Amino acid sequence: MKITEAVKSGRILISDGAWGTFLQQKGLKPGECPELWNLDRPDDVRAIAAAYIAAGADMVESNTFGGNRFKLAHYGLADRVAEINEAGARLSREAAGDHRHVIASIGPTGEILIMEDVSEEEMYAAFKEQAVALAKCGADAICIETMSALDEAELAVKAVKENTACEAICTFTFERSVNGDYRTMMGVSPEQFAEAMLAAGADIIGANCGNGMERMIEIVKRLRAAEPAIPILVHANAGLPKNVNGVDVFPESPEQMAAWVPALVEAGANIIGGCCGTTPEHIKAMKSML
Ligand SMILES: [Zn+2]
């Protein structure tokens, strides 16, 4: 069953939690390419996906967030996009088995179209290359995430829809301004995002990172008001970070975070998981709230 069909049947689905901090726990060093672990440390990567599945997640992402050729070029790995993404999707598929979904991760390229860093054609080709590799090795859906620019996200959604059979999920990262409004770093409002992603062909929209559950409720209300029918996914941080000795610490416990789940569902969310600071314990606590 497709994720959108499961949502339409009335189920609330649970997604997974953070990957970056998990990789660090397993020994990823600053300056190391996280996605290269798909080839060099496959057992550790598969274990992360398996931990979220064991916690009760209905779907799991993949270790491919920075797996586009622009990001991999920083590590001299631009010619290994297919290999790295295929391995990442395969490892999550092995952990998910046949009865859980793999929503393979695609993050921003780090290039800005309006600055003419790259052309639209080059950016589209990079997303296509990554999406095709992910689809080939087991992705059911592609989760385009942490986006802030409409033009870049539109190209990513189109690259997924035009070149794979995967469902396209797209989540933006919104920041709260002093007057309580929400915009991305590039100035996009939740309403502008929702309208543009629907037009581009996204199957599921939502928000990730930047906010804890409390602020995600406000964002989801606006997305739901703008688009009454589309499934909404939320990957919230474990609260707002507190700087402790130069390190960001995410303060919400699994129980504190899970306590927001009913209000988030009430606001219109259909799929709920975590971003920075969340662990399998957070996912387990959210699952038990349903
Ligand atoms: Zn995050």
Q: Please state the pTM of the whole predicted model.
A: 0.97
By the 10 Å C-beta count (0-12 exposed, 13-18 middle, 19+ buried), 125 is classed as middle
Q: How far does residue 275's CA lie from ligand 1's centre (Å)?
A: 4
Q: What is the pLDDT of residue 76?
A: 98
Q: How far does residue 215's CA lie from ligand 1's centre (Å)?
A: 14
pLDDT, average across residues 183-194: 97
Q: What is the pLDDT of residue 248?
A: 86
Distance set, CA 98 to CA 102, 129, 140 (Å): 10, 25, 11
Q: What pLDDT band is residue 247 in, cutting at 50, 70 and 90?
A: confident
Q: How far does residue 40's CA lie from ligand 1's centre (Å)?
A: 24
Q: What pLDDT band is residue 117 in, cutting at 50, 70 and 90?
A: confident
Q: Which residues surround ligand 1, an ion (CB under 5 A)?
A: 209, 275-276
- Is 290:251 a contact under the CB 8 Å cutoff? no
User: Which residue did the predictor score with more confidence, 94 or 247?
Assistant: 94
Residues 6+ apart with CB under 8 A from 160: 106, 127, 131, 142, 144, 166, 168
pLDDT, average across residues 257-286: 98
Q: How far does residue 237's CA lie from ligand 1's centre (Å)?
A: 6
pLDDT at 116 over 90: no
Q: What is the pLDDT of residue 240?
A: 95
- Is 100:58 a contact under the CB 8 Å cutoff? yes
pLDDT, average across residues 1-10: 97
Q: What pLDDT band is residue 3 in, cutting at 50, 70 and 90?
A: very high
Q: What is the pLDDT of residue 263?
A: 98
Integer-rounded Cα radius of gyration of the chain:
17
Residues 6+ apart with CB under 8 A from 132: 82, 163, 164
pLDDT at 75 over 90: yes
- Region for residue 27 given its phi and psi (left: phi exceeds 0; alpha: psi -120 to 50; beta: otherwise): left
